[in-house]
């Protein structure tokens, strides 16, 4: 069950993906979704926003599940629709029992992952990486095995899309300026050729950048509907 060889090489990782309740998720995308024509989107702009959030989650989880370096994927969420998405793709799910925000949810997920698998190599992955490729995640996780805690800054250099821990607490510091917070906490910043891993989606500009890279099927299909409806 151990995830690290005697010489320190990580064999496989438990990846934890947090997913907020749809009612509060991705609020910075609402100016985009609220401006959509509702003609082809079920007549409800809230549906459009929720569908986009779930599409981002689905493509992220699918890439993590398909990554050869990943032994298990755990979605931490209290949202029933997010639970359904995660389970349909082969991920485990656990409720956000602390209910005290993102960092507490990730710490809870890390403890749960260790309980069910005995893992000592865990990674927190943002839920909004629709252009992520399994091989990009594998490359970042290989690099992360060289230090107890590592992180990947987002495309803007201020946020964090991946935080890893090997044989040590995850100690997440997600939130504003999380890249600086993780660096200050002793985590090692990683860089590499993984554009889909750094391109998270908080705004319409971010979404367009992800689409230019090539997103997974759920986001691509929904983006086509958005273009038709606008």
Break the chain into its structural domains and give their ranges.
13-229
pLDDT greater at residue 66 or residue 22? 66
The pLDDT confidence band at residue 6, using thresholds 50, 70 and 90, is very low
CATH class label, 13-229: alpha beta
Most confidently modeled range among 3-17, 41-55, 117-131: 117-131
Helix axis angle, 134-144 relative to 45-66, nearest 10°?
60
Q: What's the rounded Cα separation, in Å, for the pair 212 and 19?
A: 24
Residue 57 has pLDDT above 90, yes or no: yes
Report residue 110: phi and psi, to 5°.
-65, -40
Q: Residue 17: how many CA atoms within 13 Å on its side-chain side?
A: 31
pTM across the whole model: 0.89
| CB 30, CB 90: distance < 8 Å | no
pLDDT greater at residue 120 or residue 112? 112
Instruction: Burial-class residue 178 by CB neighbours within 10 Å (0-12, 13-18, 19+).
Output: buried
Q: What does the DSSP assignment read for 149-202?
A: EEEEE-TTSSSEEEEEEESS------STTHHHHHHHTTPEE---S-HHHH---S
């Amino acid at each position: 069950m151990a995830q690290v060889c005697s010489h320190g090489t990580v064999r496989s990782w438990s990846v934890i993906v947090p997913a907020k309740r749809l009612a509060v998720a991705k609020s910075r995308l609402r100016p985009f979704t609220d401006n959509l024509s509702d003609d082809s989107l079920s007549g409800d702009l809230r549906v459009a926003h929720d569908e986009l959030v779930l599409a981002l989650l689905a493509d992220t989880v699918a890439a993590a599940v398909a990554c050869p370096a990943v032994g298990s994927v755990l979605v931490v969420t209290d949202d029933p629709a997010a639970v359904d998405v995660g389970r349909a793709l082969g991920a485990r799910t656990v409720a956000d029992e602390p209910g005290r925000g993102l960092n507490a949810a990730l710490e809870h997920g890390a403890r749960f992952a260790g309980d069910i698998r005995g893992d000592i190599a865990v990674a927190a992955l943002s839920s909004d990486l629709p252009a992520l490729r399994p091989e990009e995640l594998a490359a970042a996780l290989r690099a992360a095995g060289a230090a107890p805690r590592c992180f990947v800054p987002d495309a803007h250099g201020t946020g964090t899309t991946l935080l890893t821990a090997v044989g040590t607490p995850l100690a997440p510091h997600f939130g504003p300026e999380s890249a600086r917070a993780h660096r200050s906490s002793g985590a090692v910043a990683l860089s590499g050729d993984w554009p889909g891993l750094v391109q998270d989606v908080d705004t319409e500009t971010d979404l367009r950048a992800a689409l230019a890279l090539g997103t997974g099927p759920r986001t691509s299909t929904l983006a086509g509907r958005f273009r038709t409806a606008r």
